[in-house]
Amino acid sequence: MAQITIEHTRARGTLILGSNPGDGILQLLNPWGFRYARNVGHVFLRGSRDRAADMRRIRGAKAALEGNGHAVTLTIDEAERRTFQEAEQDRYRRADRRAERLDARADRLQETSDARWAEGRRLAASYMGEPVKVDHYSANRHLRDLERSRKMCGRAVAEQEEADRCRNLAEAAATFEEHRKDVGTTLRRLEALRARLGRIERQAEAAVRAAAARASSEGRTDPEQLVDHLARLDADHHDVGEQIRHWERLIEEAEAGGAKVWRPDDFTPGDYCRTGERWYLVLRVNQRTLSVPKSLDWQARVYDRGNQLGSRTSTLPYDKVSGRMSAEEMAAWKRSEGLPD
Average predicted confidence (pLDDT) for the chain: 91
Q: Which residue has the higher pLDDT, 228 or 90?
A: 90
- Say what the pTM is: 0.80
Strand 13-17 relative to strand 3-9: parallel, antiparallel, unpaired? antiparallel
Q: What integer is the mean pLDDT of 300-328?
A: 92
Enumerate the β-bridge partners of residue 45.
34
Q: What integer is the mean pLDDT of 253-265?
A: 93
Write the secondary structure of 110-171 as one string of H (helix), E (strand) and C (coil). Answer: HHHHHHHHHHHHHHHHCCCCCCCCCCCCCHHHHHHHHHHHHHHHHHHHHHHHHHHHHHHHHH
Beta strand extents in 152-306 (DSSP E only): 272-275, 278-281, 284-285, 289-293, 302-303
Spatial CA neighbour of 150 closest among 117, 128, 126: 117
CA within 13 Å, CB half, 312: 8
Whether the predicted pLDDT of 248 surpasses 90: yes
Q: Given this model, what pLDDT does residue 140 score?
A: 87
| pLDDT bracket for residue 167 (50, 70, 90) | very high
pLDDT single digits (tens) 26-44: 899 999 999 988 776 789 9
pLDDT single digits (tens) 201-217: 999 999 888 888 877 77
Strand 71-77 relative to strand 42-45: parallel, antiparallel, unpaired? unpaired
Q: What integer is the mean pLDDT of 131-137?
A: 84
Q: Given this model, what pLDDT does residue 222 score?
A: 73
Q: Given this model, what pLDDT does residue 133 score?
A: 85
Q: Which residue has the higher pLDDT, 271 or 126?
A: 271
Of the listed ranges 80-84, 169-173, 193-197, the least confidently predicted one is: 80-84
Query: Which residue type is seen at 340?
Result: P
Q: Given this model, what pLDDT does residue 93 score?
A: 96
Q: What integer is the mean pLDDT of 285-313?
A: 92
CA within 13 Å, CB half, 212: 6
Answer positive or negative: Cα dihedral of 240, 241, 247, 250: negative
| pLDDT over 70, % of the chain | 98
Q: Given this model, what pLDDT does residue 213 score?
A: 81
Q: Given this model, what pLDDT does residue 218 score?
A: 67
92: phi then psi, degrees, rounded to nearest 5: -65, -40
Q: CA 207, CA 163: separation in Å to the nearest integer?
A: 52
